[in-house]
């Protein structure tokens, strides 16, 4: 046996936390964290935000909480009650801040930016039809915090609809 090691103290676990309640508390904390994760407290379950007018309805189906490194998809649905000749989706900078846009399907007519906002010029939407656009994102692992992800739908340069939403990025 090497010098300085006491077999008796080692076998009797002297100097260690030997309280059964401490071990049970640690196990209960692990179980609580697992339960909260199962209930999607830390997850990315999507929700739907909808607004409408006499001309159209805009719906955004996207998670409002995500974790770094994960992939998620957002669905924008525009239902036109009147013909929308030049519809444009304008997204707040929070949509791409600390995120990577992997794809937009179908491709908008044009993509640009205006004062930090993402401007997606869409194809015309005839009255009585729906247009559905999907954006796939990946959250950068160092992107933590809360930011605005507002969406505006304009037609002929006039704001038709607006959805105010936020996203929280968990570590």
- Considering the domain architecture, whether residues 22 and 95 belong to the same structural domain is answered as no
Q: What is the pTM of this model?
A: 0.77
Rounded distance, CA 55 to CA 60, Å?
17
Same domain, 123 and 144: yes
Structure tokens at 62: 């996207």
Mean pLDDT of the region 71-87 = 94
Which has the higher per-residue pLDDT, 3 or 107?
A: 107
Do 74 and 146 reside in the same domain of the chain?
Answer: yes
Question: Residue 50: which domain range?
Answer: 46-170
Flag whether 61 is in a domain.
yes
Residues contacting 107, CB < 8 A, separation 6+: none
Note the pLDDT of residue 17.
Answer: 57
Distance (Å) of CA 95 to CA 22, 49, 151: 44, 15, 9
The answer to whether residue 1 is domain-embedded is no
Judged against a pLDDT cut of 90, whether residue 6 lies above it is answered with: no
Considering its fold, how many domains does the chain have in total?
A: 2
Residues 85, 18 within the same domain: no
DSSP-based three-state secondary structure for 137: strand
Question: Does 74 share its domain with 13?
Answer: no
Tell me: the pLDDT tens digits for 42-68?
767 889 999 998 889 999 999 988 888
Please say whether the beta carbons of 137 and 76 come within 8 A.
Answer: no
Mean pLDDT of 120-140: 95
> Domain check: are 94 and 140 in the same one?
yes
């Amino acid at each position: 046996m090497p010098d300085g090691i006491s077999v008796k103290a080692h076998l009797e676990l002297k100097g260690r936390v030997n309280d059964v309640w401490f071990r049970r508390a640690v196990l209960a904390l692990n179980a609580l964290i697992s339960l909260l994760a199962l209930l999607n407290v830390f997850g990315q379950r999507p929700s739907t935000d909808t607004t409408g007018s006499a001309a159209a309805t805009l719906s955004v189906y996207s998670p409002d909480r995500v974790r770094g490194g994960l992939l998620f998809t957002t669905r924008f649905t525009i239902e036109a009650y009147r013909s929308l000749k030049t519809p444009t989706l304008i997204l707040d900078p929070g949509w791409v801040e600390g995120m990577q846009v992997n794809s937009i399907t179908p491709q908008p007519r044009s993509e640009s930016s205006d004062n930090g906002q993402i401007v997606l010029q869409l194809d015309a939407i005839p009255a009585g039809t729906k247009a559905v656009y999907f954006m796939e994102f990946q959250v950068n692992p160092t992107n933590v915090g809360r930011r605005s992800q507002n969406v505006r739908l304009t037609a002929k340069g006039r704001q038709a609809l607006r959805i105010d939403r936020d996203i929280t990025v968990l570590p």
